[in-house]
Structure 1
Amino acid sequence: MSRLGDLGARLHHGEVGYDFIGKRMLWYGVSVLITITAIVGLGVRGLNMGIEFSGGAVFTTPKSTVSAQRAEEMAEEASGHQALVQELGNGGLRIQISEVDTAKSDQIKADLAEGMNIPADDINADLVGPSWGKQIANKAWMGLGIFMALVVIYLAIAFEWRMAVAALVALIHDITITVGIYALVGFEVSVGTVIGLLTILGYSLYDTVVVFDSLKESSRGILKQNRYTYSEIANRSINGTLVRSINTTVVALLPVAGLLFIGGGVLGAGMLNDISLSLFVGLAAGAYSSIFIATPLVADLKEREPETAALRRRVLAKRASAAARGESDAEAEGTARRSEDDEDGTGAHGATAAAGVSGPPAPRGGRRGRPSGRRR
């Protein structure tokens, strides 16, 4: 077995572990700091909305000797607005300019044709009105709202409402960070960005639901024992699924990183930038929130319940009593097990009898056994 597999087995069986729940205030502080930074970046820089949302024109030119940088300069001089130029596979150029109406589009097309020394009829111009972008934005917000409502309802039915609330907070956390990084980096928000944002919601929920399912199974009948608090069981659930979460996240991030750094950075594919950045940031934020935000938040909410709070007091009181008697942790756990077994009527004697185990057979008639060997 590999070292990672051995570590995963040890984490799953509780032989080793990290106290994620105990240090939850640290994780909360880190998340608040990152979220505030994202909100400040969003407020100061704002989002670079594409023509799908702000309206504009897209000019597609045939193959020419003009470089993309020179075409960008000509487009900005002709329009008075910032232009985005991408090289196409056939050697042509895609020139995108925001906030351009029909009359201005015809003038820009003529200037580009003259500057690039190509016929104006060979340049294809497509106009996008701002009303169309507004419709896309409204539908995206509607889809996001419906998705979150369905997620909350499903998790409340499949698990409980506290887990649904924690998952919703984690989703808002992931979306806020992703949008804030978009604002800080300055990437253009396009339809591909919206697709990427909606896609990461499923990835973000995947790890969260895996941990929640393990926590649900581990905490079944928790109030009938006095060995572990709810927070400790939640911490063991995180550790038990930690390696699985890391593996799935890394495997998902590798191809997305290829799209972002190779497809977008080296090849200069604009649409790949829009989708891959949102996916990359969202996947990383989703893996973080499922471990450091969602499950600790569930533990906090559960510890506020009277029954769970009473369980915590019993566990701590029993450990304090064991410490006063000088017992080790293993001995204290064994004492707690025997105490619970005696309360249930399944102590050591009862368990032995129930298992059908009997002692050594008594000698018959009290006669002394005759030694073996030949009779003289």
Structure 2
Amino acid sequence: MINFAQVGNDLYTGKRSIDFIKRQKTWYAVSAVLIALALLGIFARGLNFGIEFSGGSEFRVQGVTNSENYEQKAQTAVSDAGIEGNVVSTIVGQNTVRVQTEAAAGLTDEASAALAQEFGVAKTSVSASLIGPSWGASVSKQAIQGLIVFLVLVTIVMALYFRTWKMAVSGLVALLHDLVITVGIYALFGFEITPSSMIGFLTILGYSLYDTVVVFDKVRENTAEAFQTRRMTYSAAANLAVNQTLVRSINTTVVALLPIAAVLFVGFTLLGPGTLLDLSLALFIGIAVGAYSSIFIATPLLVDLRRNEPAVLELDKHVARQAAKAGAAPAAHAEEPVAVGADRTGAAAVASDATLPEGAPRPVHKYAQAAGPRNQPKRAPKSRR
């Protein structure tokens, strides 16, 4: 049985390491395929906007005892009322049928009576509402404006906090990566986009940014110490940071997805289409994609953006020279990382014996004793009588 606590500890100290940085071309290729499919779905198949955006009439038939062939029944009733165009019918909850049509205008009463007769319910059990497209257009405009303001503020804050615009650019690319793939999944599978979905799209950007900032904060800590100690390349220090935050990112994502998955199950099986289902579906897709981008896209992209900086190049050359002097073959950035500095509790990270050059002394924890029993008080000499 896998001891996840031990695996997480080994990843943090550098005893084990997954080389995310060296395999960045693989992650880029995976993302490129996903983005290509997403764009294909968006531009070829198109987005399935809800009635709030396109406008039209909505009828809800309550108390339906027999929902067999409900789509055919709805189509027949709407056609008999004289309403032309596409008809979308779905079951909401246990005994309610939702019928969406083109704007019924003056045919609302005729459509309500036809639906009541077709489904065998009283006319009072059929409710009708007319939704104009201007409301959806207003929501879309405000959502786009909010997205632009959000991205501008995020760029400024990240550039000031991390003191480099390249981290801000990497974070923004990860955000756009998540947004495009999430919307593309909606297009490919024909999920309906409602105002609740728009709220979900904006929410996942905040979650993805939070996860990325946590990883970047550890990257900044490790790389700053790498420049100071000059014992580890920039890419190796960044890769160690991703390994150190990997378990935390996975745990956070799983904990966030479990309750959303429960809401999705209830929505699909019991509640049917509605605000709760639309919001939870967008959150589930976006959080999963956001976890991927924080681990596999943001940090490798940051390393690629900084790879040719003079300070980074000089650090890599210095580490290679030190490795050559120690008799070890220098590696560009795939070396097994040695944890640098101290973690937030003050304990120094210790490398495994396999990562040390031949003949080099093994680093020792700063609180470790050279020999003898640990934390044993000295005994006073026995007095002679």
- Relative to the length of structure 2, the TM-score reads 0.80
Structure 1 Cα separation of the partners of residues 242 and 63 of structure 2: 56
1:107 and 2:107 correspond: no
AA paired with 2:166?
Answer: R
Count matched residues. Answer: 331
Seen in structure 2, the aligned counterparts of structure 1 residues 16 and 110 have a Cα distance that, compared at 3 Å, is same
Q: Which residue of 1 aligns with 2:12?
A: 12
Q: Which residue of 2 aligns with 1:136?
A: 139
Asked whether the equivalents of residues 113 and 119 of structure 1 are also in contact (C-alpha less than 8 Å), the reply is yes
Structure 1, 169-178 or 8-17: larger mean CA deviation: 8-17
1:158 and 2:146 correspond: no
* CA shift for structure 1 position 35: 0.7
* CA shift for structure 1 position 292: 0.4
AA paired with 1:280?
Answer: F
AA paired with 1:83?
Answer: V
Structure 1, 276-285 or 79-88: larger mean CA deviation: 79-88
Q: Which residue of 1 aligns with 2:253?
A: 249
Seen in structure 2, the aligned counterparts of structure 1 residues 183 and 266 have a Cα distance that, compared at 3 Å, is same
The structure with more radius of gyration: 1
AA paired with 2:142?
Answer: K
AA paired with 2:161?
Answer: A
Q: Which residue of 2 aligns with 1:307?
A: 311
Q: Which residue of 1 aligns with 2:370?
A: none
Identity %: 44
Q: Which residue of 2 aligns with 1:189?
A: 193
The 5-angstrom pairing of residues 54-73 of structure 1 reads 54-67=54-67, 69-73=68-72
Structure 2 Cα separation of the partners of residues 324 and 195 of structure 1: 54
Q: Which residue of 2 aligns with 1:83?
A: 88
Q: Which residue of 1 aligns with 2:34?
A: 34
For the aligned residue pairs, the C-alpha RMSD in angstroms reads 2.4
* CA shift for structure 1 position 119: 4.1
The 5-angstrom pairing of residues 229-244 of structure 1 reads 229-244=233-248
Asked whether the equivalents of residues 256 and 279 of structure 1 are also in contact (C-alpha less than 8 Å), the reply is yes
Q: Which residue of 1 aligns with 2:98?
A: 95
Asked whether the equivalents of residues 171 and 204 of structure 1 are also in contact (C-alpha less than 8 Å), the reply is yes
Q: Which residue of 2 aligns with 1:208?
A: 212
- Provide Cα deviations, 1:308-343, integer angstroms capped at 9, x if missing partner: 1121122223323433799x9524795899xxxxxx
* CA shift for structure 1 position 116: 2.9
- Provide Cα deviations, 1:59-89, integer angstroms capped at 9, x if missing partner: 123324341x544323223144222222346
AA paired with 1:252?
Answer: A
* CA shift for structure 1 position 101: 3.8
